[in-house]
Copies of this chain bind each other. A is one copy, B any other.
Amino acid sequence: MNELKTLRVGILGFGTVGQGTWKHLSENESAWERILGIRLVPTRASVRSLNKERTVSVASNVLTVDSRSIVDDPDIDIICELIGGVEEARELTLRSFEQGKPVITANKALICEHGDELFKAAEKAGVRYAFEASVAGGIPIIKVLRESLVANEFPLIYGIMNGTSNYILTRMENEGASFDEVLGDARELGYVESDESLDLDGVDAAHKAVILGYLAHGMWINLKDATVEGIRRISNEDLSAARELDCKIKLIGVIRRSFDKNFVSIGVYPALVPMNETIAQTDGVFNGISLTGTVVGTVVLTGRGAGQDPTAGSVISDIVDVVKGMQGQASPPKLLHVTPDECEPAPLREISGSFYLRLSVDDRPGQLAKVAECLADHDVSLATVSQTPNDEKQSASIILTTHQTNEHSIGLAINSLEKLDGVKEKPVLFRMFDPNGFIEK
């Protein structure tokens, strides 16, 4: 290490995070020399259009529309895949591994869908695949989970994993503004992904939950085995009903493990989180993740879950780790207790919890009794009930919370309720956050 080696970084995708990474890499070249003993130089970047104006300006000869030429360039040592999307990114990542080049990524969709293949390919090629930036932007959740909490098993990991939906809920909560109104503002601010379903239907958070589930339990849960619901049905009426129950409604990702039965369950859904949980107090574009480990107890991390600088900061900490790895020992430690293939997705019947329900019903005598009876038929018992008439529509809102039941029973109950005479639309169902979400018999 006496003569100063140069490592060159190629950036695939020169959007917000790509430009941020370039900026911080090039602004700190002397610092890299000091702390890594090498020259670390951002060298080339790929773009969709050469003519677009960008906030980070680079010499014209470093940009190309051909990502593959960067991967294949023998002068490029490290690849940052910040291109987004799945198929092209997958191909470029595998190609990089074949060339013996480590890859740093922020691409949660890719890892969620092809993680198993990609991690195996990286291992086979003997290079690192680093992805701190893929979950919760600037919050160092991957490193904390894998390295700091290596001695733990994790009965529960949960939190706010999507900043855009949290921004919308926070403004609805604080200002009483409607979903549509705040969504309009969020679009204008550029907070909403071009595929809006990623933010509004819980899909982005689900990608992250799947990655955390893999890290904690060594198992890739298929999205179709996960409950994934978004924020579109949350009304201001729900937010104030939750407040009455001393809760806030948050879109949370929940990864639960039953050690008794070796089940893992992953869900993303709106839930009533008790006000005294740090996660309930995590507002605006912030993310927060609560890890409960068998040794450490509960550790909570909060911070910015997205944005140019926080996410680029995570990319850069990965680059530093990767360079350290190239200088010696490579992979970070696996979790102590993870033995892949020993657990399986939990059947709905095994996932217990209590629920919040809002129904719009005809305002006539006996309607509430019918609803209660229908729930009882499915062994769902009521904890609290309130009914408010809505004179304009000659209808009433019934808001219920249930005692402990399970996902299977509540699913059947909802199906029956929807068909019940006098119920006007599909009932709104939210979960009550419950740290003890499996019944360990």
Contact = CB atoms under 8 A, between A and B. Distances in A.
Interface string A281-313: 100000000000101111111111001011011
Given A140-B144, A148-B143, A301-B300, A309 B295 contact: yes
Interface in A138-152: 138-140, 143-144, 147-152
Given A144-B140, A149-B317, A320-B150, A312 B295 contact: yes
A328 interface: yes
Contact of A31 (B281, B328, B329, B337): B337
A71 interface: no
Contacts of A304: 296-299
Contact of A329 (B139, B303, B327, B333): B327
Contacts of A316: 150-151, 295
Residue of A296, A301, A320 with most partner-chain B CB within 10 A: A296
Contacts of A28: 151, 336-337
A132 interface: yes
A141 to B, nearest CB: 9
A66 B29 CA distance: 49
A218 to B, nearest CB: 11
Nearest to A316: B151
A300 B299 contact: no
A393 interface: no
Nearest to A318: B148
Given A24-B295, A144-B143, A313 B152 contact: yes
Contacts of A334: 34-35
Number of copies: 2
Contacts of A339: 34
A228 interface: no
A427 interface: no
A325 B325 CA distance: 10
A313 B333 contact: no
A313 B334 CA distance: 15
Given A24-B151, A28-B151, A140-B144, A313 B293 contact: yes
A329 to B, nearest CB: 2
A324 to B, nearest CB: 6
Interface in A224-241: none
B299 A333 contact: no
B317 A151 contact: yes
Interface in A211-226: none
Given A34-B339, A140-B148, A336-B35, A296 B324 contact: no
B296 A138 contact: yes
B302 A300 contact: yes
Interface in A1-45: 24, 28, 31-32, 34-36
Contacts of A140: 144, 147-149, 299
A303 B151 CA distance: 16
Contacts of A281: 276, 278, 281
Contact of A320 (B296, B303, B333): B333
A15 B139 CA distance: 34
Contacts of A151: 24, 28, 312-313, 316-317, 320
Contacts of A147: 140, 143, 317, 320-321
A314 interface: yes
5 contacts: A147-B321, A298-B303, A299-B303, A299-B304, A324-B329
